[in-house]
Amino acid sequence: MSGGTAQLLLGGIVMMGACVQWLTGMGFALVAVPGLVLLLGPSQGVALANCAAGAISAVGLAGGWRRVRLTAMAPLVAASVCAVPAGTWVASQLPHPVLFVGMGLLVTLAVLLVMRGLRVSALTGTQGAVAAGAAGGFMNASAGLGGPPLSLYAMNAGWTVREFVPNAQFYGIVVNVFSIAANGVPRLGSTGWATAVAAMAMGAVVGRVLAERVLEDRARRFVLLLALAGGLSSLAKGLGVL
């Protein structure tokens, strides 16, 4: 793959993820991680997803930080921070094909659970928050996918979309900062970073425009289908099908 083609693919993946994040409030990792992992490799792909998702969450929270429920989020973020080192360690011990299969399975399972609207009584209260936070921290550090456990917790806790978005952004900032500290910053070079930053900005613009014109349910289904396709692609790559 030529350098120009790789940069074009990198920009497209990041822009799509950023667009989805602005359109639905979260989802950058679900959509972008499979493509980034296939393009950059597991460690660099996850590291870039951590950086991009954290940055987008920080920008998005600027206007809604007053709606963060700190009391409810405290056990979630504390558990996620504690689980980050374990996720980083596990990812560093596994060979790339196993990581591709693992990430593909995680994405696919996460999407299917969210699609089904799984409701589990254990995912409520402080105990549920700790369980969701620990799973999110581990998945974020190992596979860049910290959002689905939080989504399942919020669904079982009965949060509205208005409640969920700022709290998800707050969670995204915290868990990604610690994941970056554990995984490091991706080695993209000046051209790669310029491409990624420009793609995030373009994705934000497109996402904001679409948010005013696309129904939330339709956008959510589209995001989940994209994520499912990406998860299956990573799984196929790990199994040697691609």
How far is 3 from 134, CA to CA, in rounded Å?
A: 38
The closest alpha carbon to 57, from 43, 71, 39, 77, belongs to 77
DSSP state of 213: T
The whole-chain average pLDDT of the chain stands at 81
Contact 29, 51 (CB under 8 A): no
Per-position DSSP letters for 108-119, written without gaps between them? HHHHHHHHHT--
Question: Taking 90 as the threshold, does the pLDDT of residue 197 lie above it?
Answer: yes
How far is 157 from 125, CA to CA, in rounded Å?
A: 8
Report, as an integer, the average pLDDT of 59-67. Answer: 79
Q: Tell me the per-residue pLDDT of 215-237, one tens digit each, with 9 for 90 and over.
A: 766 766 776 676 677 677 777 77
Alpha helix positions (H), 41-69: 42-61
Contact 33, 106 (CB under 8 A): no
Q: Which two tokens stand for residue 106?
A: 């995680």
Q: Tell me the per-residue pLDDT of 83-113, one tens digit each, with 9 for 90 and over.
A: 999 989 988 888 878 877 877 787 777 777 7
Q: Residues 6 or more apart from 186 whose CB is under 8 A from it? A: 40, 44, 45, 47, 48, 51, 192
The closest alpha carbon to 29, from 213, 215, 234, 212, belongs to 234
Where do the domains of the chain lie? Answer: 3-238
Per-residue confidence at 239, pLDDT binned at 50, 70, 90?
confident
* Ramachandran class of 43: left when φ > 0, alpha when ψ lies in -120 to 50, beta otherwise: alpha
The closest alpha carbon to 102, from 147, 32, 37, belongs to 37
How far is 45 from 104, CA to CA, in rounded Å?
A: 13
Q: How many CA atoms lie within 13 A of 137 on its CB side?
A: 24
Per-residue confidence at 80, pLDDT binned at 50, 70, 90?
very high
Contact 40, 155 (CB under 8 A): no
